[in-house]
Amino acid sequence: MDPFQYVRAESVGQAVRVLAEHPRAAVIAGGTDLTTLMRDRVRRPSHLIDLGGLALDTVTARPDGGLRIGALCRNATTDARIARDFPVLVEALRSGASPQIRNRATFGGNLLQRVRCPYYRQPEFDCNRRDPGSGCAALAGDSSRHAILGTSGSCVAVHPSDCAVALQALDAEILVRGPRGERRIPIDAFHRLPGKAPQREVALRRDEIVLAVEMPPRAASAHSHYVKFRERASYAFALASAAVAVELRGGTVRSARIALGGVAPKPWRAKAAEQALRGRPLDDDAIDAAARAATRGATPRPDNTYKVRLAQEVVRQALTELGGA
């Protein structure tokens, strides 16, 4: 690990100021991802701004009936309002990592964790995301766990967060603060597709920090569920996952939001699958149509074609289990 200057933030304003003043500064929350990357010299911040003392660790009700979840709330949250209104979010959080890591990991850090592509995490390999313009070792190497949707010739890594996939299905917003004040970023715009600049992973600016995740009122997500397929029963990232949130009226789907994890460089909103459900009863035919539509536009690599079927199956399972709820 390279030397760095430690700064214990006394206020959000101070944290933002230090970020703005030092181009290579980084904030640290739970540290479960950043410290590993620093140890392996993938990231080399000049200043480490510790957010741990800031009052960003509470869940509060919003006037419109939604919730504001502070960026420092832990992934092991037991808040009863989150569990009651947004079951898909709790299911996604509990499917991630291990109890010890969830006790330490925060909402903000989870959204901003870096990709798990092994080539990204080992500096001896070429990686456009880590070292722009150097190339992509995965394209000539093992891409069996990589993306089938939203890829580019520059990067085929998958986004790792389970929580972010659930937030996609719930239409959450991310509240951030920088030198110019606060702004809200819709979750769909928060993570970016790689295009020609995979190093620009998020819409968050370099001098901004995440303050909270803003959850809308629960109506549209009354029925929600998360299904994750992974190589081990715990302690493993998704090979494919699906978060579904469906609003039913008189047995008919009024609106649906479906997001995929483990198959794209960002939490992937499957709009064609949502369209396939709208106005129909949540029966086997509609679920089958949605599952097939979920991977529309997929461009798998020779070693990960299996993910097309897997993604369809997690959507099918999530909707089927929801229908029976």
Question: Which residues are near ligand FAD by CB under 6 A?
Answer: 26-34, 51, 71, 75, 96-97, 101, 104-106, 108-110, 112-113, 160-163, 209-210, 235, 237
48 sits near ligand SF4 (criterion: CB under 6 A): no
Q: How far is the CB of 230 from ligand SF4 (least distance, A)?
A: 19
Q: Which does 136 bind (CB under 5 to 8 A by kind): ligand SF4, ligand FAD, none?
A: ligand SF4
Q: How far is the CB of 264 from ligand SF4 (least distance, A)?
A: 12
Q: Which of 34, 137, 273, 276 binds ligand SF4 (CB under 6 A)?
A: 137
Rounded distance, CA 213 to CA 80, Å? 16
**Measured torsion, CA atoms of residues 40, 145, 150, 217, in degrees rounded to the nearest 10:** -80
Q: How far is the CB of 144 from ligand FAD (least distance, A)?
A: 18
CB 315 within 8 A of CB 294: yes
Q: Which does 138 bind (CB under 5 to 8 A by kind): ligand FAD, ligand SF4, none?
A: ligand SF4
| DSSP 8-state class, residue 74 | B
Strand partners, 48: 6, 26
- In 3-state terms, what secondary structure has residue 273? helix
Rounded distance, CA 145 to CA 291, Å? 20
258 sits near ligand SF4 (criterion: CB under 6 A): no
CB 295 within 8 A of CB 242: no
Q: Which does 34 bind (CB under 5 to 8 A by kind): ligand SF4, ligand FAD, none?
A: ligand FAD
158 sits near ligand SF4 (criterion: CB under 6 A): no
Distances (CA, A) of 216 to 50, 118, 209, 325: 29, 36, 21, 22
CB 37 within 8 A of CB 48: no
Interface residue list for ligand SF4 (CB under 6 A): 115, 117, 119-120, 127-129, 136-138, 146, 155-157, 198
